[in-house]
Amino acid sequence: MTRRFSSIPEAVESIRNGGVVIVVDDENRENEGDYICAAEKATSETINLLLSGRGDFCMPILAETAHRLNVKPLVDHNETKLETAFLTPLDHVTAQTGITAEERAFCVRAIADPSTRAEEFVRPGHVHLLLAKEGGVLRRAGHTEAAVDLARMAGLQPAGVICEVLDDDGNRATRDRLFEIADEKDLHIITIEDLIEHRRVSEKLVSRLATADLPTKFGKFKIVAYDVKYESQQPVALILGEPEKHNVPPLVRMHSSCFTGDVIASLRCDCGDQLELALQMISSEGCGVVVYLPQEGRGIGLAEKIKAYALQDQGLDTVEANHALGHKADLRDYGVGIQILKDLSLSRIRLLTNNPKKCEAFNLRGFKLEVVDQIPILPPTNQHNSDYLATKRDKMGHIIPEAPRG
């Protein structure tokens, strides 16, 4: 039987009501599930449930709380694989030992209370504090940030309590076992990936930084640079005409950056050719948008992409090379790009792409931005990219008329 993850709103409602949820991270990251509850709502019963996970009992907080309680990093240089930010552990001054579920529940509620001060706690204690990044899972896809996000989204103080769920043999509980536990205990179970997606849909993340006219060989465009909240990337939009007023849905290209293809005309891919074709097609209609997203190498970065090129020179295809480097075949996310199109007041578009997953990203994620047509964008192949294009078609589902041959 196929197991279904709960929706993010279902999990948030459970957190709001003082419940516990199970949150799983990426199978290529820690691949673990954690019990999570809101610190503000902690009781001896919920803390006892968390402790039954038998992992490390921790309380994620934000920097403001750490400053208020004068807690510091445990080490000067964090060498943990995922940079888990452990802080000074605390007990409340009223605790006898601090180890019981009731004492820990009282302590985490007090830590979450913005009126408490450092002198109300003793150190070291039994509540292990973790510093969550501002911006939550949009900056770090960890359980630490997920706990703070869920509490904040529930309208509670931005602090949570987490504990990893272990199997009876002491290893991380498998996905199947986590679903069984969720059924046994009537708990919602969600993924951090879904939480990231939900926040990208529900929160306004983009704002305009600068706007100017940009004459090009394809026509006079307007260029808009965007800031993305919690992220360092600065995507741009190239706008021709007034697409929001066009009598038919305008052409739109959502283009991920490719230094080698876009800038120096590499023959290993079709990226630069696709960008040029998109600009030509938009120019022919006199209206349209290109959103240029800085997510090089399908999201793995330029240096990693060049490493992947070297592996392809040894006989791997583009998907195999990414996997060999420890990456997914495609890490790109189009939520920011879609928010840019919404900022441009678009509601219906014709998408220039060979990748059906881009259309799914638009139509299935609640943005109220409809792809009414998928327009193929097929530049000529060459001897250097034909195998690459075949892999995109055969392994990644891109719609290419016939498998190119190298």
Reduced 3-state DSSP string for 339-358:
HHHHHCCCCEEEEECCCHHH
Is 300 within the bounds of a domain? no
Residue at token pair 């220039």: 352
- Do 274 and 174 belong together in one domain? no
Separation of alpha carbons 130 and 73, rounded Å: 9
| Domains contained in the chain, number | 2
Q: 90, 125 in Cβ contact below 8 A?
A: yes
CB count in 10 Å sphere of residue 283: 19
- Do 161 and 237 belong together in one domain? no
Domain end point (choices 146, 165, 200): 200
Is 112 within the bounds of a domain? yes
- Do 24 and 65 belong together in one domain? yes
pLDDT tens digit string along 91-121?
Answer: 999 999 999 999 999 999 999 999 999 999 9
- Percent of the chain past pLDDT 90, that is, above it, reads 58
pLDDT tens digit string along 287-335?
Answer: 999 999 998 877 788 898 899 889 888 888 878 887 888 877 776 778 7
- Do 176 and 231 belong together in one domain? no
Domain end point (choices 169, 200, 231): 200
pLDDT at 406 over 70: no
Higher-confidence position of 86 and 189: 189
- Do 161 and 215 belong together in one domain? no
Q: Where residue 147 sits, what CATH number does that domain have? A: 3.90.870.10
The residues, ordered by sequence, that sit 6+ positions from 115 with a Cβ below 8 Å of its Cβ are: none
Distances (CA, A) of 150 to 18, 183, 246: 12, 21, 40
pLDDT at 405 over 50: no
User: Which element (helix H / strand E) includes 220?
Assistant: strand 219-228
Average pLDDT over residues 168-197: 92
- Do 33 and 181 belong together in one domain? yes
Catalytic residues: 330, 332
pLDDT of residue 28: 58
- Do 188 and 261 belong together in one domain? no
Query: What region does 262 belong to: left with phi over 0, alpha with psi -120 to 50, or beta?
Result: alpha
Is 318 within the bounds of a domain? no
The residues, ordered by sequence, that sit 6+ positions from 184 with a Cβ below 8 Å of its Cβ are: none
Rounded to two decimals, the pTM is: 0.70
- Do 57 and 180 belong together in one domain? yes
90: pLDDT confidence band, cut at 50, 70 and 90?
Answer: very high
Is 303 within the bounds of a domain? no
- Tell me the angle at which helices 8-16 and 192-202 cross, rounded to the nearest 10 degrees: 90
Is 2 within the bounds of a domain? no
Domain end point (choices 200, 222, 252): 200
Separation of alpha carbons 103 and 127, rounded Å: 10
Task: Read off the DSSP letter of residue 326.
Answer: T
pLDDT of residue 60: 97
- Do 253 and 186 belong together in one domain? no
Q: Which of 70-84, 95-109, 158-172, 279-293 is least confident?
A: 70-84
- Do 12 and 77 belong together in one domain? yes
Distances (CA, A) of 269 to 274, 305, 319, 388: 10, 12, 13, 7
Assigned token pair, 187: 């708990």
Listed residue (177, 158, 176, 152) closest to 167, CA to CA: 177
Is 327 within the bounds of a domain? no
Contacts 24+ apart (CB under 8 A), 296-299: 296/256, 296/257, 296/258, 296/259, 297/258, 298/256, 298/322, 298/329, 298/330, 298/331, 298/332, 299/256, 299/327, 299/330, 299/331, 299/332, 299/333
pLDDT of residue 212: 98
The residues, ordered by sequence, that sit 6+ positions from 104 with a Cβ below 8 Å of its Cβ are: 42, 47, 57, 98, 126, 127
- Tell me the angle at which helices 44-51 and 101-112 cross, rounded to the nearest 10 degrees: 110
Task: Read off the DSSP letter of residue 25.
Answer: -
- Domain holding 88, by residue range, is 8-200
Distances (CA, A) of 224 to 51, 128, 254, 289, 343: 50, 45, 14, 11, 11
Alpha carbon dihedral 307, 310, 315, 319, in 10-degree steps, equals 30
Q: Where residue 235 sits, what CATH number does that domain have? A: 3.40.50.10990
pLDDT of residue 361: 67
pLDDT at 366 over 70: no
Q: Which of 61-65, 117-121, 123-127, 305-309 is least confident?
A: 305-309
Q: 133, 177 in Cβ contact below 8 A?
A: no
- Do 181 and 240 belong together in one domain? no
Q: Please, which residues bridge with residue 162 across strands?
A: 36, 58
- Do 213 and 89 belong together in one domain? no
